Chain A
Amino acid sequence: KQEVTQIPAALSVPEGENLVLNCSFTDSAIYNLQWFRQDPGKGLTSLLLIQSSQREQTSGRLNASLDKSSGRSTLYIAASQPGDSATYLCAVDNTDKLIFGTGTRLQVFP
């Protein structure tokens, strides 16, 4: 059974810091890995999709890497801003459904 773990559970940093959010999964037989952002009480916004044949994806200040053999992904946020404050969810696409971690709650203060 696929299990997804995210570390840390919460993070509070001053504006401008570079951040690394970690995601690990137990079954390396995945199609894709997707990172989402969720603001309080809202739905999920897709940030980055990494297909199983890829090692990383970049979008603006965000970079996500995938190491299937070790069951790990990292989301790197450069030069954090208060607007980045949200919960970040990692999800693996396994047997055609997403399995989510419990998320990292990020607060960036001015």
Chain B
Amino acid sequence: DTGVSQNPRHKITKRGQNVTFRCDPISEHNRLYWYRQTLGQGPEFLTYFQNEAQLEKSRLLSDRFSAERPKGSFSTLEIQRTEQGDSAMYLCASKPGPVYGYTFGSGTRLTVV
């Protein structure tokens, strides 16, 4: 059990560029979550997967955002045409089932300049 792994740790991009983040959950965890956290705030839910199915998306997830989890393993979060307001920490979490606690990764810090 190596924990939840997120890459890259940091990403600086110019406004208008596309970025993609990757999350590798704990191997036996079938549920995977994406959260976004801005400075001084608690994390906000973006979306979650059970295996490869995306079961819920927040209204925060505009049409510039897309997430995938092919084959129910790792997940990617893509942001198209980045804006300065997208600058935040993007956190991934996983858990093995509904009654279990969440395990978070170290996050990807995105800075849009």
Interfacial residues, chain A to chain B (CB-CB below 8 A): 4, 31-32, 34, 36, 41-46, 49, 51, 89, 91, 93, 96-103
Is the beta-carbon distance between A102 and B101 smaller than 8 angstroms? Answer: no
Give Cα A89 to B37, complex, Å. 12
Is the beta-carbon distance between B99 and A46 smaller than 8 angstroms? Answer: no
Q: Which residues of A contact B33 (CB under 8 A)?
A: 97-98
Q: Does B40 contact A (CB under 8 A)?
A: yes
Residue among A31, A91, A98 with max Cβ neighbours from chain B (10 Å): A98
Give Cα A5 to B43, complex, Å. 13
* CB < 8 Å A-B pair total: 60
Q: Which residues of B contact A97 (CB under 8 A)?
A: 33, 45, 48, 56
A100 (CB) vs chain B CBs: closest residue: B42
Is the beta-carbon distance between A43 and B98 smaller than 8 angstroms? Answer: no
A6 (CB) vs chain B CBs: closest residue: B42
State the Cβ distance, B39 to closest chain A Cβ, in Å: 10
Choose from A4, A41, A98, A101 the contact partner of B102 (Cβ within 8 Å): A98
Q: Mark B1-28, 1 if CB is under 8 A from A, else 0.
A: 0000010000000000000000000000
Is the beta-carbon distance between B42 and A91 smaller than 8 angstroms? Answer: yes
What 13 new A-B contacts, CB under 8 Å, besides A44-B91, A97-B56? Answer: A32-B99, A34-B101, A41-B89, A43-B6, A43-B104, A45-B104, A46-B103, A91-B43, A96-B48, A98-B33, A99-B45, A101-B42, A102-B42
B50 (CB) vs chain A CBs: closest residue: A96
Q: Which residues of B contact A49 (CB under 8 A)?
A: 100-101
